[in-house]
Amino acid sequence: MKEIEDKIKHYPYLKYEEDLLHISKKPSLSIVEKIATPFFLYLPERFEHNYTHLKTALSKHVAKSHISYAIKANYLGRVLQQAKSLNMNAEAMSLFELLLAERAGFNFNQIVFNGPAKTVQELELAMTKGIQYLNVESMNELQTIENIAKAKELKQEITIRIHPLLSEETEKKLLIKKNSKLGIDYDRATKLYKYAKNSPHLEPNGVHVHVGTNLISHSFYEELFVFMNKYIKELVNKHGIEIEYLNLGGGLASKSTLDSNGFDLNRYAEQISTSIENVDNMTVILEPGRYLVEDSFVAVAKVLRTKSSWGRKWAFIDIGANSLIPMRYSHYLAVPGQNKGKGPYCRIGGPLCLPVDVISNESVSYQIDEEDLIMVLNCGAYTLSMSEQFGYPRPAVYELDTVGEIKIIKKADIVEDMVKEAFSFENDS
């Protein structure tokens, strides 16, 4: 069926053979023989593929670069271990994420630490352990860092997270706009640089920008990089600040989304090298989350029930919005475990008693019946890390490795434990 073939075109690990969906060559039906739905399936091969493509493109155009995996996108231990084994760095936003990174084997000199309101405890821990990429967003944060550095008799390298000046039209489309809580306008940022330059305990040597997610536009990057180049030149020429680290943040859409929109990672890397003068004297840092993990996970679900109402058919699957978080930038795709051909138009929803619990606002036109398997694609980013026990337990996560073995990497919540937890105060007395 063309609709299904079109949907999976940019997911090379999916294939229908005799109308049965295979995931990384494994028949989906054979996977659910042993494992009860719903569950997430992690495909480490895809994660590596995504990383390799980005790193190869960058290396062709930029002399020095780091890819720092944004832990917030998906903090599962196996994902972090794989990021580490691929020689990535990590990006963290809290004590929890710093400790996760440490547990996965990252040294603090491989971690970018972000966040608009880091606590003194977090800063002290990070600085004691030798945090290398400390991103700062306000004058009082900078002064707190200076005080800690002074007490510890060290000189702390810092990067300032700026919000760039882009055209009104571009600003309108961004998730993180000028008046958002993140970053600092470039005029104030310059004041932070000047303050830091005059402090014996601070070394301002990086600039950071991160303004959105699911970005797929070469012209957007052109505009951003031109601004960054202008700003860096001003820092160097007017204020004598040497920029060693250019952190261009996260924000890339998933590999499959980029592919389906004709976005070329080589061109993106080339745009960096042609827009930023002296880029070869800097280390370019990227902090992708969504790009690496979004299409490295598949959610495997079963249809619990179907119904028709007001002229629309519905199929309700056993995984819902408590783990497939409905966010502005999520675009889940549902494909069947078995292609049964054309059927009536049908919307797919989860089991929650909530109207937003729909997999997508588009109807599918393939035949769906109760008990059928449905795979939800594009579900690896900002799902497991943001999931809730909202009425339902969070599903287990399995890994399908390169030799076709499946192993559990995170247990499902148990409903009885959730009930116990809600009444845990009774055991305290």
CA-CA-CA-CA torsion sign (360, 366, 372, 377): negative
Compute the least distance from the CB of residue 70 to ligand PLP, in Å: 4
Angstrom distance (rounded) from CA 186 to CA 255: 31
Q: Residue 229 is encoded by which pair of tokens?
A: 């180049």
Pick between residue 1 and residue 58 the one whose CB is nearest to ligand PLP.
58
Compute the least distance from the CB of residue 252 to ligand PLP, in Å: 6
- Identity of the residue numbered 403: V
Pick between residue 114 and residue 229 the one whose CB is nearest to ligand PLP.
114
- CB burial readout 61-89, b (16+ within 10 A) else e: bbebbbbbbbbbbbbbebbbebbbebebb
CB 210 within 8 A of CB 287: yes
Pick between residue 284 and residue 373 the one whose CB is nearest to ligand PLP.
284
Secondary structure of residue 188 in the 3-state scheme: helix
Q: Residue 300 is encoded by which pair of tokens?
A: 């495997």
Compute the least distance from the CB of residue 156 to ligand PLP, in Å: 19
Residue nearest to ligand PLP (CB): 250
Pick between residue 122 and residue 287 the one whose CB is nearest to ligand PLP.
287
Secondary structure of residue 246 in the 3-state scheme: strand
Compute the least distance from the CB of residue 237 to ligand PLP, in Å: 27
Pick between residue 91 and residue 357 the one whose CB is nearest to ligand PLP.
91
Place of tokens 């990021």: 83
Compute the least distance from the CB of residue 280 to ligand PLP, in Å: 24
Q: Residue 378 is encoded by which pair of tokens?
A: 């594009």
Pick between residue 66 and residue 210 the one whose CB is nearest to ligand PLP.
210
Angstrom distance (rounded) from CA 416 to CA 327: 29
Compute the least distance from the CB of residue 64 to ligand PLP, in Å: 19
Rg (CA), the chain: 23
* Binding residues vs ligand PLP (CB under 6 A): 70, 72-73, 91, 114, 210, 213, 249-252, 287-291, 381
